[in-house]
A and B are shown apart, each in its own frame.
Chain A
Amino acid sequence: MELLAFGKTGWGDELFIATLMTLAVSITAMFIGFLFALIFTPLKLSNNKFFNLIANCYTTVIRGVPELLVIYLFFFGGSGAVMYVASIFGYNEYIEINAFITGSFAIGIISGAYSTEVFRGAIQSIDKGQFEASKVLGLKKPIHFFKVIMPQMLRLAIPNLSNVWQITLKDTSLISVTGLVEIMRQSYIAAGSTRDPLFFYSFAAVLYLLLTYLSMKFINRLEIKYSKGY
């Protein structure tokens, strides 16, 4: 137990901060994923073949390639790409991107591909009459989307989004390869310096279980809240 003490003697506070880091990366990644889904879901549902092709490429490639490979692409290729863009604007210094940003971006793109599929499925399972009714009523496009389609879509999407959240949360463990100090990386450091890997990796497993358990509880509440009236 003294291994987990807070302060200088134990690893308690470090692991606590690392847990917050895991949460921060997961939430940021989930949010970036939503932004991607917001762009790609309409492309997927549009009647334009070209837009469909782009969106399908995105979801197929990202969901068919290992997460670790995507992370390596961003980790090794990220700063090169940013420097290339910066050089077009005449900035030629070396730019190093923060591990947090690369990590959440990489995981965000992955989670975005899953979210896109979830939103697409949710919109497609909304009753056709709803679209037609709001057209007949002459609702403006933004009102039609935000007041009619979105609330129904969210209700249908929540159970599947909770799966995406679980996947995203677990994927953040892979960012440890880039050196960002989240649960896995901190356990690796602690295991290395105390030579007690079994304890620290098991403890990391417990932390992840705790996070998934708590988020399930939270999502169940949301589900109840959004299915009021059904």
Chain B
Amino acid sequence: MISSFPKLLNATLITLKLLSVSLVVGLILGILFSIMRINKNPIINKFAYGYSYFFRGTPLLVQIFIIYFGLGQLEFIRSSFLWIFLKEPYWCAIIAFSLNTGAYTSEILRSAFETIKPGLIEAGKSLGIQSKIIFFKIQIPIAIRQSLPAYGNEIILMLKGTSLASTVTLMDLTGVAKYIISTTFKPIEVFIVAGGIYLFLTFLIHNLIKFLEKKYSF
């Protein structure tokens, strides 16, 4: 149990790396798509809706497999520059995670945008503030504050989601845990250590979000 601890800690670094990179990319995607969702043009908002519907309606495992096993089958991808990324399981996992968390983030932000009271925007307009400034200085800060609790849940879901990287040969925390279980055949001890690390991370994220909520409450 104790001898497996350093190995698992090392693997935690990979989990954290996967989590942070995909959260950053996912956040950017989420912001983009949530803006597309509130766009009046039906083609743009249908496209964004389709994106979020697909990625929220299918298991993350399917998405990883399509990207890792599926895309390599297409000749034009193999010959393009994309292949540099798509042949690495690490990048495939990151692409899948980012697209997935991007879909959930866009939903969270969209509902946050919708809960902003129209009076605030009208007040901005009647004060003669440009609509761009209204968007960046009024709508976005309020939306971010509104969506903090839901986004915290999403980060925790994503932390758990990174465990799927082990299915495409990446040795993240779950991957290493499975390897140790199958070589030593001590499932319960390893589960306690690896599960404990995950719980500790969840605990940290939970408290960080709580702290931010308090800091930006109004």
Q: Which residues of B contact A212 (CB under 8 A)?
A: 57-58
Known contacts A72-B177, A202-B66, A212-B57; A64/B156 CB under 8 A: yes
**B119 proximal to A (CB < 8 A):** no
Known contacts A170-B58, A202-B70, A208-B57; A69/B65 CB under 8 A: no
**Number of chain A residues whose Cβ lies closer than 8 Å to a Cβ of chain B:** 36
Question: Are B57 and A197 interface neighbours, CB within 8 A?
Answer: no
Q: Which of B40-48, B139-147, B190-198 contacts A (4 or more CB under 8 A)?
A: B190-198
Q: Which residues of B contact A121 (CB under 8 A)?
A: none
Question: Are A173 and B61 interface neighbours, CB within 8 A?
Answer: yes
Inter-chain CA distance A76–B164, complex, in Å, is 18
Q: Which residues of A contact B63 (CB under 8 A)?
A: 205
Chain B: CB-nearest residue to A184: B61
Known contacts A73-B188, A73-B191; A201/B182 CB under 8 A: no
Question: Are A64 and B199 interface neighbours, CB within 8 A?
Answer: yes
Interface of B is mostly: helix
**A30 proximal to B (CB < 8 A):** no
Out of B57, B69, B202, name the residue touching A209 (CB < 8 Å). Answer: B57
Question: Are B70 and A72 interface neighbours, CB within 8 A?
Answer: no
Out of A174, A188, A197, A205, name the residue touching B58 (CB < 8 Å). Answer: A205
CB distance from B63 to the nearest CB of A (A): 7
**A224 proximal to B (CB < 8 A):** no
**B174 proximal to A (CB < 8 A):** yes
Using an 8 Å CB-CB cutoff, how does the interface string of B173-212 with A read, 1 for contact, 0 for none? 0100110011001011001001100110011000000000
Most B C-beta atoms less than 10 A away, residue of A64, A76, A170, A191: A64
Out of A171, A208, A213, name the residue touching B62 (CB < 8 Å). Answer: A208
Q: Which of A172-210 contact B (CB under 8 A)?
A: 173-174, 176-177, 184, 187-188, 191, 195-199, 201-202, 204-205, 208-209
Inter-chain CA distance A174–B156, complex, in Å, is 18
Q: Which residues of B contact A137 (CB under 8 A)?
A: none
Question: Are A204 and B163 interface neighbours, CB within 8 A?
Answer: no
**B22 proximal to A (CB < 8 A):** no
Residues of chain A having any CB pair with chain B under 8 Å? 60-61, 64-69, 72-73, 76-77, 80, 170-171, 173-174, 176-177, 184, 187-188, 191, 195-199, 201-202, 204-205, 208-209, 212-213
The 13 sampled A-B contact pairs (Cβ below 8 Å) are A64-B198, A65-B199, A66-B159, A67-B163, A69-B195, A72-B177, A72-B178, A72-B187, A170-B58, A184-B59, A197-B65, A201-B65, A205-B66
